[in-house]
Amino acid sequence: MKRFVVTSRVARLGPGMVLALSKEQVARRAGRLRQVKGGYEPTALIDFKNGEEFGIVRGAEFLNKAMLQDITPKDEAEKKAGKEGGQQTTEPPAPGGQTQPREGASPQDQS
């Protein structure tokens, strides 16, 4: 099973796939899912919102190019988030190109 995260506004999946879903996801889509061995199979198109996670147990071969633009494997999404979250921001220099002293620093620390 491979886990995915929706990275577009919405991702739409349909019959032919077996999905691993949370209880909350199943409850919201109960009328369009049937329980099968290993997970849930959509009986009609179902939508997932941005940031939602799900697993594909079987049927990943049904993912077409358009669908793959809407979802990202969870491990790749976590790596990307780690890189973006790890960036440090610096304060812009003061007018005249001087860096601003740290707050609470003594005059000796500022040299």
DSSP 6-70: E-SSEEEE-TT-EEE--HHHHHHTGGGEEEETTEEEESS-EEEETT-EEEEEE-GGG--HHHHHH
pLDDT over threshold 70, residue 37: yes
Instruction: Output 59 or 94, whichever has higher pLDDT.
Output: 59
What pLDDT, on a 0 to 100 scale, did the predictor assign at position 94? Answer: 54
Give residue 75's pLDDT band: very low, low, confident or very high (50, 70, 90): confident
Q: What integer pLDDT is reported at residue 77 of this predicted model?
A: 74
pTM above 0.85, yes or no: no
Q: Pseudo-torsion of CA 64, 65, 71, 76, nearest 10°?
A: 110
pLDDT value for 93: 52
Distance CA 93, CA 91 (A): 6
pLDDT digits (tens, 9 = 90+) for 86-97: 554 444 555 555
